[in-house]
Each structure stands twice: as structure tokens, then as C-alpha cells.
Amino acid sequence: MEQPVIKNVLNISMEIPQTKIAKFWEELKRGKLFATKCAECGEIYFPPKADCSKCYSSKMDWIELAGNAELITWTIIHVCPKSFSQHSPYVIAVAKLEEGCSVMAWLTNIKHEDIKPGIKLKLIPKEFGYEFIPSKPNTKSA
Amino acid sequence: MGQNGKVAVVGIGHTKFGKRNDVTVRELAFEAVKEAFEDSGLSPSDIGFTIVANYGGFSEDMSAAPYILEYAGLNPKGAMRVEAACASGSAALHAAYWNVRSGLTDLALVIGVEKMFQVDTPTAVELLGRAGDVLWEFIPFGTTFPGYYALIATDHMNKYGTTEEQLAMVAVKNHKYGAMNPLAQMQKEITLEDALKSRIIAWPLKLYDCCLISDGAAAVILASEDKAKKITDTPIWIIGLGSATDTGYLADRTDISTLQAAVLASKQAYKMAGIEPKNVDVAEVHDCFTIAEIVAYEDLGFCKKGEGGKMIEEGQTYIGGKIPVNVDGGLKSKGHPIGATGVAMAAEITKQLRGEAGRRQVPKAEVGLIHNVGAAGQFCYVTILGRES
């Protein structure tokens, strides 16, 4: 049975400030990945934070990441949000960087059957962010 | 009443969960509120404070509380809306508890409501995904909610050998009980094969590993000790509460296979209630995905870490087992209207402890536990209810 309804559309467009971590985006354009490191307590943040959540210092140094990482966990997204419909399926991975922090990013350039916990990955910059790829392409070793 | 008095649930309302394209948010909330007043014998003028749980975004009202209050004749008493993602309902319940326990009011009303079917499924997936870290997870990588729990599932499988079959067994159990619950969205039993053969949503999670998109509302009325004893012969006492939080950015967690917030929240609640996990007779846990129920068994201390898969395989969470879990169908089969879920869990446990759960009744249930998780463990609220104070 057809129910009577009011049709209502709401399109939201927003601008999210990135001023405090502008350097991250500048370096990304140059093909480099930078993290912040607290000048007071030494905590490393990636994605970068402008303020230290541990010691509340806002004195941050910028350090370049080597990008070496080890896979912790992953999923393959088949049913995706509206805004990602052209990309599906895609692999989302969480891997631990040698600098100590763990990162979520897409894992690309790998066959699904080759994905195993502990495999070595490389975090590489992309135009609008970053992604993981196998550290040795097509590797099957864990 | 007094500041050291106890607090009880004295009225419950719970609409059928499912697709309700015949009602607005306020009309749906009204159904649950009306039932709670009928159940308790109270009326709107008795209520001192109202707390509305609603995630919002799927439906018409950006700030739903005023329109629900007006529609339900609850003005001019004080009110607020609370939001803690999928744990909004328990957040509201806890806030109402503080309100009564503090002595600010004798009677507080909790209303949980969500209408998710007013938008199409991809939009609902998008709005839910946005409960994750929008800046560093959702916008760049399109991490969906099934995606977060799939990351948890993969880690759990790698660490403890949990299997896709064990995940499917949770779905089979919850559908079995959902089929007995007239308020459930999917009153249909499923087989292990149905679950295992269903399409992949976020590997390793399949369609039957995922909870539903739902419309629904629930309401509970909390009373101070003196009031409660006057209102009903079967007050259900809130004997333990705990709440905790965890990182918004999933990768920041030391162990992705556990929800640390649930471990901490349950420890607080057990301590306050003076009980141990083995004293719980019936539990409502946040099975937004099958893996979430398995992790909940472990986080709540129903079994050792890593043995959640074994627990469902042995059937220990069915009625007659060690600890019956989600015998109303859970989020999986009863449905998961975000803001309503935690309130509906409280209504269900109240029914169980009153002995009003019909075919799904857990024999001699005296202590019930509610575990309600917001986002992928960013929030956890645990509430313990008891028939005896």
C-alpha cells in the first residue's frame, strides 16, 4: 500500500579546517608522509595531531615516516557507503608502523589470498592521503 | 526518597521493530511512551525529567526531543537528548538513573527512538559509518560499520582461531529467539547454511552476521525507592552501572580483538552490584555483528578471552545453557533502531526479571545484565538489574 509522505532533500557540504596540520598536506603534495612528535613527551602521532593527548603540550615536531609496517588486521568492503560506490570491493587494513603507531588505510596491489597477518607492508603517500602496498610486490612470504 | 536510595524500573514500553513508514519519529516514540505509562499506571504529569536517546540524521528532526515531548504532553518538565552512537539508549538510562539517584526527581522517563528507513540503504550505511573517525577513517577510506567489526573479527580469528561457522552460530541462535518474539523485526529461524551462504558485506562478515536497519522505539520509567514500592509490586532494581570509553581511531587500540571499554564498564558494574559474571541469569549484549556477541562473552567475563567462539559452539548461551544471551533475538534479529536499542534492552531485561517473557522466559531469572556498545567500542555502558534489591 502506498503511504502518503512528505519528500524532503537535504544536501550537506562542508569545509573541514586543516590549518593546524597544514604541513602534513604540504609534504603529502611532495610525496612524503609526515607525522607529529611531541617535543615534550616524545609521543608520535600519525595521522598527525597538533596537540599531545598524553601530556597536553602543543609543541610538536614534524618527522618523516619511513613507511615500514606490519599487517595486524584487515577486511574487504563489499557493501560500501554511497560516496565509495565506484571503488568497491576495497581492502581496509590496520598495520603497525616501525615508528610505533598503528594506521588504518587501504591495502592495494595485493591478491586477497596473499593477505596474511604479519606481512610486511609499505605505507605510501597518495594524492589525497596514503595507502598500504606489499613491501615486496607479489610476495607470498609472511 | 533520599540521596542514598535505590532506583527501579517501574514501567516499560517497546514498539515492534521493523519498517514503520506509516509514522513520524514523534508518533513512533509516542507508542512506546504510552505503553510505559499504561504499564506503570503513571501519567505525563508524574514525570520530573525526560531523557531522549536518538542518533538522528536518518529522519526529519535534527533535535528530536522537543517534538517528542510536546507530542507526548510532557512539557514543561526538564529534558534533554543524549547521544552516544549505538549506546545512546544506555547513556540515556544512566543519565536518568543519576537524575533519580541524586534526588533531583522521583520519576524520570527514558525514551529511545530511531527511524532509519526514511533514507535509502547506502545513505544509512554512510550515516552510520560517520560514527567512526570521519577525518581519518571514513572520508579517506570509506570504513563502514560492518568494516570496523570485520577488522575486529579478522583479528579475533587470527589470534584465537574463531571460525566463520562460530560467527554464523550466533546468528542462528539469535534468529531462533527472534522467531519467538512478536516485537522482533525478523521473526524467522535460519540455518547455519543460510548464514554461511549469505552474501559478503565486509569480509569475513556476511549478511547474516550483520544486524538490521530498523525503525523502533522503547521507553522506561525509573523511580526512586519509595515511589517504586508504591507504584508496583515488582520493581526491577538497577543494582550496578559501569561506563567506559576507548579510542575513536580504531588502530590506536593495543588489542583490536577486545572492546576494552566493555571490560572496564562491566568490572565497575559487577563491583557496584557486588556480583560476579557467574551470578548473571540472563544478558542482553550488543550483537550489532555476530563477532560483537562473541567478543562480549569474553569482555563480560562469561568465558575466558579467546573462548567466545567455543561458548556459542557448545550452546552455552541458549536458554538452559550457562548464560542465556539475547533471547529476545538481539540486534541481529529483533533489530537495531540506534537510539532505541539500549532502552529496549532495559525493557527486555525488566520483562525477564518480572517473569513476563513468555516462550523466551529464562527460568528463575533474578539478575540481568545489559551491555550496550557505542560505535566500535568508543562507548560501553553496562547495567545490571535485579529482581531483589
Q: What is the pLDDT along chain B (389 residues), one digit of tens a residue?
A: 444 589 999 999 999 999 999 999 999 999 999 999 999 999 999 999 999 999 999 999 999 999 999 999 999 999 999 999 999 999 999 999 999 999 999 999 999 999 999 999 888 988 998 899 999 999 999 999 999 999 999 999 999 999 999 999 999 999 999 999 999 999 999 999 999 999 999 999 999 999 999 999 999 999 999 999 999 999 999 999 999 999 999 999 999 999 999 999 999 999 999 999 999 999 999 999 999 999 999 999 999 999 999 999 999 999 999 999 999 999 999 999 999 999 999 999 999 999 999 999 999 999 999 999 999 999 999 999 999 86
Q: Are residues A56 and A77 in the same domain?
A: no
Q: Are residues A40 and A90 in the same domain?
A: no
Q: Are residues A51 and A77 in the same domain?
A: no
Domain boundary among A37, A64, A91: A64
Bond preceding residue B76 cis, omega within 30 of 0: yes
Q: Are residues A51 and A98 in the same domain?
A: no
Nearest alpha carbon to residue B35 among B12, B58, B18: B12
Q: Are the Cβ atoms of A82 and B123 closer than 8 angstroms?
A: yes
Question: What is the strand order of the sheet A34-38 is part of?
Answer: A44-45, A34-38, A60-64
Domain contains A5:
no
Identify whether the C-beta of residue B177 lies closer than 8 Å to the C-beta of residue B328.
yes
Of A3, A76, A105, the CB nearest to B141: A105
Q: Is the pLDDT at A6 greater than 50, yes or no?
A: yes
Closest CA of chain A from B308, distance in Å: 19
Q: Does A105 touch chain B (CB under 8 A)?
A: yes
Q: Are residues A86 and A124 in the same domain?
A: yes
| Residue B364: how many other CB atoms lie within 10 Å | 9
pLDDT of residue B4: 58
pLDDT of residue B389: 63
Q: In whole angstroms, what is the distance from residue B259 CA to residue B299 CA?
A: 7
pLDDT of residue B388: 82
Q: Are residues A109 and A76 in the same domain?
A: yes
Q: In whole angstroms, what is the distance from residue B146 CA to residue B149 CA?
A: 5
User: 3-state DSSP call for residue B309?
Assistant: helix
Number of domains in chain A: 2
Q: In whole angstroms, what is the distance from residue B331 CA to residue B285 CA?
A: 9
B-chain CB neighbours of A102 within 8 Å are: 251-252
Q: Are the Cβ atoms of B252 and A105 closer than 8 angstroms?
A: no
Q: Does A78 touch chain B (CB under 8 A)?
A: yes
Confidence of residue A124 (pLDDT cuts 50, 70, 90): very high
Q: Are residues A32 and A44 in the same domain?
A: yes
pLDDT of residue A137: 54
Question: Which long-range contacts does B186-189 make (Cβ < 8 Å, 24+ apart)?
Answer: B186/B212, B186/B329, B186/B333, B186/B335, B187/B329, B187/B333, B188/B333
Q: Are residues A55 and A112 in the same domain?
A: no
Q: Are residues A95 and A41 in the same domain?
A: no
pLDDT of residue A123: 98
B-chain CB neighbours of A75 within 8 Å are: 146-147, 150-151, 153-154, 202-205
Q: Are residues A57 and A73 in the same domain?
A: no
Burial per residue of B204-225, b for 16 or more beta-carbon CB atoms within 10 angstroms, e otherwise: bbbbbbbbbbbbbbbbbbbbbb
pLDDT of residue B59: 94
Domains of chain B: 7-119+213-231 (3.40.47.10)
CATH number of A104's domain: 2.40.50.840
Residue of B nearest to A7 (CA): B118
Domain contains A120:
yes
Domain boundary among A64, A85, A100: A64
Domain contains A106:
yes
**Annotated catalytic residue within B94, B286, B336, B371:** B336
Identify whether the C-beta of residue B86 lies closer than 8 Å to the C-beta of residue B99.
no
pLDDT of residue B5: 87
Domain contains A54:
yes
Q: Are residues A38 and A103 in the same domain?
A: no
Selected residue of B141, B199, B208 to mutate for chain A interface (largest A Cβ count, 10 A)? B141
Three-state SS string over B252-305 comes to: HCCCCCCCHHHHHHHHHHHHHHCCCHHHCCEEECCCCEHHHHHHHHHHCCCCCC
Q: Are the Cβ atoms of B126 and A74 closer than 8 angstroms?
A: no
Q: Is the pLDDT at A89 greater than 60, yes or no?
A: yes
Range of the domain at A54: 18-64
Identify whether the C-beta of residue B90 lies closer than 8 Å to the C-beta of residue B25.
no
Q: In whole angstroms, what is the distance from residue B153 CA to residue B147 CA?
A: 10
pLDDT of residue B77: 97
Domain boundary among A29, A64, A99: A64
- In 3-state terms chain B splits into helix, strand, coil percentages (rounded to 5) of 40, 20, 40
pLDDT of residue B3: 46
Q: Are residues A135 and A94 in the same domain?
A: yes
Q: How far is CA B260 from the centre of its chain?
A: 18
A:28-47 residues touching chain B, CB 8 A cutoff: 47
